[in-house]
Chain A
Amino acid sequence: MSSVLSTVIIAVSLLAAVYALVGSLRDRPMDLWHLGSLAVLEVLLIAQAVVGFVKLGGDEGPAEPATFIGYLIGILLIPLAAAGWGMLERSRWGPGVIVVACLSVAVMVVRTRQLWEGTVG
């Protein structure tokens, strides 16, 4: 796994979470910037999945790849779900859901790294 990429993803997801939190606190529905930040996040996560699979193919990685692969793929659903929800819920709770989604992505990337390094079971 590329530690630079994970660090970038964590930073972007935290920034997106803060921006969404601002929108939620100001009682605004989701706007194009929220959507854009989720799109950037999704692209980065796809890049992470590609890098992860390439490296797995190259005989690197955790002893037990099932969970790791689950994280790589499962995490891709989160920004999409958040974007869909933000479009449906035209109130402050749209960005609220994006906050949850972005924080989840950050946590999951940390977990993915731990799985890769074998520091967690």
Chain B
Amino acid sequence: MAERERNDAPAVAPDTAPSPSPSPPPPSVNGSVNGEDQGEATRSGPGRLLVAVYAVFALAAGARAGVQIATRFSEAPVAYALSAFAAVVYILATVALAMGGRTSRRVALISLSIELAGVLIVGTLSIADPAAFPDATVWSVYGRGYGFIPLVLPVVGLYWLRRSAVSAPSRT
């Protein structure tokens, strides 16, 4: 419980004790070998919220891409292949954020970067050349069909990866 509060403190009450240096991790956590403490860092607290939103997106994008490809792939192969790719990246990001070990953080970083690049590139292309995208993908028009969440999500995720890395210094 004390550990939770320590993790939460900067997020919930920035006015209380803005410590310049992060407090040393408690000895019990420090003793773990398999990067469990880092897993806690990306997964717990506000990270749960992020993983939850990612899980919903992975589910939605994956199911949608599955149906599109199974029922009418030939209509818009580029758009549907892109949907499937996006779904795979979302699933990867969800799992990596939920696991949160050292390798997982790297995977999360890469998949979040791909997402950000994807939503920017596909968003721009879909406005510049709508004919190339006859059916909407998650990333079309910067994710407008999904309330622009696909644009916001990777930015929040990258910020969270950075923050949780600061609050739980990695032993690289």
Contacts and interface: CB of A to CB of B under 8 A. Distances in A.
A85 B67 contact: no
Given A82-B52, A92-B12, 11 more contacts: A70-B67, A78-B56, A89-B45, A92-B8, A93-B45, A93-B46, A96-B48, A96-B49, A100-B49, A100-B53, A100-B56
Interface string B40-62: 00001111110011011001000
Nearest to A68: B67
A117 B46 CA distance: 37
A81 B71 contact: no
B63 interface: yes
Contacts of B12: 27, 92
Nearest first, the 3 closest Cβ-Cβ pairs linking A and B are A97-B52, A93-B48, A100-B52
Interface in A56-76: 64, 66-67, 70, 74
Contact of A74 (B4, B46, B63, B135): B63
B135 A121 contact: yes
Interface residues of A, number: 23
Interface of B is mostly: helix
Nearest to A101: B52
Contacts of A66: 67, 70-71
Contacts of B102: none
A97 B51 CA distance: 9
Interface of A: 27, 64, 66-67, 70, 74, 77-78, 81-82, 85, 89-94, 96-97, 100-101, 104, 121
Contacts of A121: 135
A43 to B, nearest CB: 21
Q: Is the interface of A mostly helix, strand, loop or mixed?
A: helix
B128 interface: no
B4 A90 contact: yes
B149 to A, nearest CB: 10
Contacts of A100: 49, 52-53, 56
Pick the most buried of A27, A64, A70: most chain B CB atoms within 10 A of its CB.
A70
Contacts of B44: 89, 91, 93
Contacts of A27: 12
B130 to A, nearest CB: 16
Nearest to A24: B49
Interface string B63-76: 11001001100000
B1 interface: yes
A40 B88 CA distance: 33
